[in-house]
């Protein structure tokens, strides 16, 4: 398992709901967690490891030795209020940061790793992170939230990096 980066097409896919939380799904979650912590990420969606299923994980403290992992399977945002703007990055969109408009307070519902229904009231960075990860499940990247100018500059930059890579 590895982190998939732009422009891989799986990042544009709409992830499928998880039907059964079995040992295979739990194994995916555990490997995603190891990958997130080893990359010092605060959140990860299954699309980002090439698996278009509706699974997100997050831990805004991101310290490997003090894990406080949150898992949401088939997450749904029940309510969202107030605005917040934050400079976001993404493990799947290297060399890019952008100021993104989000909701400051959200209520989200989903299943945890054991298949129990949970509700989370999230605010600030946690709320931002959950919205960012749910975006991934809908094939949306932070690039889709910034201006066309900024997006096109990034696309050009990545194209050049890929070209350089191919030429050795
Ligand atoms: Ni991301």
Is 133 considered catalytic here? yes
Asked whether the beta carbons of 85 and 99 are under 8 A apart, the reply is yes
Say if residues 95 and 157 touch (Cβ distance below 8 Å).
Answer: yes
- Residue where the block lists tokens 């050795």: 168
Q: What is the pTM of this model?
A: 0.95
pLDDT, tens digit, for every residue of 125-145?
999 999 999 999 999 999 999
Catalytic residue, from 64, 87, 88, 133: name it.
133
- Residue-wise pLDDT for 78-119, tens only, equals 999 999 999 999 999 999 999 999 999 999 999 999 999 999
Calculate what percentage of the chain has a pLDDT beyond 70.
99
**Is 55's pLDDT higher than 90?**
yes
- Read off the pLDDT of residues 64-81 as tens digits, 9 standing for 90 and up: 788 999 999 999 999 999
How distant, in Å, are the alpha carbons of 11, 47, 76, 135 from that of 16? Answer: 13, 10, 13, 13
Distance 144 CA to ligand 1 centre (A): 12
Q: How far is the centre of ligand 1, averaged over its atoms, from the C-alpha of 50 (Å)?
A: 13
Classify residue 9 by its DSSP letter.
G
For the chain, list the domains and their CATH numbers. 9-167 (3.90.45.10)
């Amino acid at each position: 398992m590895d982190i998939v980066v732009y422009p891989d097409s799986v990042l544009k896919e709409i992830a499928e709901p998880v039907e059964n939380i079995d040992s295979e799904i739990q194994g995916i979650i555990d490997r995603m967690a190891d990958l997130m912590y080893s990359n010092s990420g605060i959140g990860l969606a299954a699309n980002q490891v090439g698996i278009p299923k509706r699974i997100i994980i997050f831990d805004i403290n991101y310290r490997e030795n003090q894990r406080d992992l949150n898992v949401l399977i088939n997450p749904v945002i029940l309510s969202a209020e107030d605005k917040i703007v934050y400079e976001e990055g993404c493990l799947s969109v290297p060399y890019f940061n952008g100021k993104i408009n989000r909701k400051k307070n959200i209520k989200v519902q989903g299943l945890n790793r054991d298949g129990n229904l949970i509700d989370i009231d999230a605010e600030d960075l946690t709320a931002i992170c959950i919205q960012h990860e749910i975006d991934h499940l809908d094939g949306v990247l932070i690039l889709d939230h910034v201006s066309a100018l900024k997006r096109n500059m990034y696309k050009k930059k990545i194209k050049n990096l890929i070209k350089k890579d191919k030429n050795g």
